[in-house]
Chains A and B, each alone.
Chain A
Amino acid sequence: MATIFSEKMSLALLQRLVLPFSKGTAGLHTTCTMHEIRKMARLRVVDNSKLGKSAMLEGRPPRCIHVYNKKGVGHTGDKVLVAVKGQMKRAILVGCHQNQKPLMPKFDTNNIVLIDDNGSPLGNRIHVPIPTMLRKKLVEMSRPKGADYTKILAIATRFV
């Protein structure tokens, strides 16, 4: 009888202690998970470049350190600066985990393709499917006398 009473008491105490502070001790308000690509986001390299493969194999995926657009949030097709194995490399986002608009594919991982300053990819094949909208976006991003980002489309195997 005494043990049952003490168990009930402890549960009630626990409820009173835990439930009001279930979100956080400081009463912080957090948003739901947005899965946005910002600085410090870990990304997955999907081309077969040596640098990308070795980074993914050793379990230290590249981290985004800058997003090349006016808002600090990257979307599919945006250029980002990533830190891979101690070096800085540019990359193009080819798939986002964020919820997308209708008809835009949403991937299970945030995929990137490493590129150099001229826009040519470091690897020579992408085994993962790529959204078809990149065909238009990369052409728009490319400059005739500047970087040409459309070489990524040449190494892609499948479009979704």
Chain B
Amino acid sequence: MGVYVARMKVHPYVPVREGEGLQDVKLPEDFCKVYPEFLPDPKPEWRNRMRERLERADMLKRRNVMEIPEFYVGSIMAVTVSDPNASGKLNRFVGICIQRGGTGLRAWFILRNVVDHQGVEILYEMYSPLIQSIDVLRLEKRLDDELLYLRDALPEYSTFSFDMEQEPLPENVEVPVNPIKVQLKPRPWHERWERKNLQGLQDLGLPERFYKRAKLLEKPWEKYDLMLEYRQAISEDEQRDIFREVHPHYQQLESSRRRIKRHRSGIKPKTT
């Protein structure tokens, strides 16, 4: 009795042929952090090179029309959407980015805020034509990649005024990391936060058996697993090829990113 193994169409990586002076195009160090949605999902069953190329072209066209600023999980943002049911046809929501995901045109982020003592979260697709503008009011990072624990935290950690103004960040300064440690409400929680190795939480104050169980279920060998690391990442050669596609538009993207930062700091460009 043989076992049926579904044959996956996994196409191998074929490097782009060098030519037309593309050799001097260097991959910037922060490209993967600032534009993570340009990299595809590493899962081989879901890869489709042609679809990724078409999506990247569409993403660049959309960025020509609407500026998508640089943001990270923990930044406070304001998004205006065109909504036929809202008064004035525009709906503005301010919130902290608690999670970010998706690749290509399906890249999304979730904003959370506590409005009138009610926690509200909205998922926005970054390249949706319904989105009119995305503004980053406070650009900062947090100690964790995902802030889903804010759902179980005290409401003051997720409350941001809708009238919040843009906070300036001086030029050529690295994105600040907010070292805040959040206090959670008493249990029950949405997830077992003690098992997630989160840095941005205060001492959970749980009985010893919780931490013992968490230690039992730990997988400390994963950090030595090279194949896991390989499967979860896009190789540097592929990243360079992707950057080569983006390179003609990179100047424009970077200048708009700098312009957004300058606007926020109130520095006007010199007119000579």
Contacts and interface: CB of A to CB of B under 8 A. Distances in A.
B130 A103 contact: yes
B68 to A, nearest CB: 15
A106 B115 contact: no
Given A129-B120, A158-B115, A102 B125 contact: yes
Interface string A93-109: 00100001111111111
Contacts of A157: 116
A103 to B, nearest CB: 6
Contacts of B86: 132, 159
A157 B117 CA distance: 13
A113 to B, nearest CB: 13
Nearest to A46: B118
A54 B36 CA distance: 50
Chain B interface category by residue count = 20 to 34
A160 B151 CA distance: 18
A13 interface: no
Between B85, B91, B118, the greatest number of chain A beta carbons within 10 A of the residue's beta carbon is seen for: B118
A102 B190 CA distance: 21
Given A132-B83, A132-B86, A159-B86, A103 B124 contact: yes
Nearest to B119: A108
A128 B84 CA distance: 21
B85 to A, nearest CB: 4
B16 interface: no
Interface string A117-146: 000000000011100111110000000000
Interface string B57-99: 0000000000000000000000001011111000101000000
Interface residues of A, number: 28
Contacts of A133: 85
A69 interface: no
Contacts of A10: none
B121 A128 contact: no
A72 to B, nearest CB: 24
A132 B130 CA distance: 15
A97 to B, nearest CB: 10
A135 B93 CA distance: 18
B117 A128 contact: yes
Given A102-B108, A102-B123, A95 B81 contact: no
4 pairs of A and B residues whose beta carbons are closest in the complex: A108-B119, A132-B85, A135-B85, A128-B118
Given A107-B118, A136-B84, 9 more contacts: A100-B123, A102-B125, A103-B81, A105-B121, A106-B120, A109-B119, A128-B116, A132-B83, A160-B120
Interface of A: 15, 19, 33, 46, 95, 100-109, 111, 127-129, 132-136, 157-160
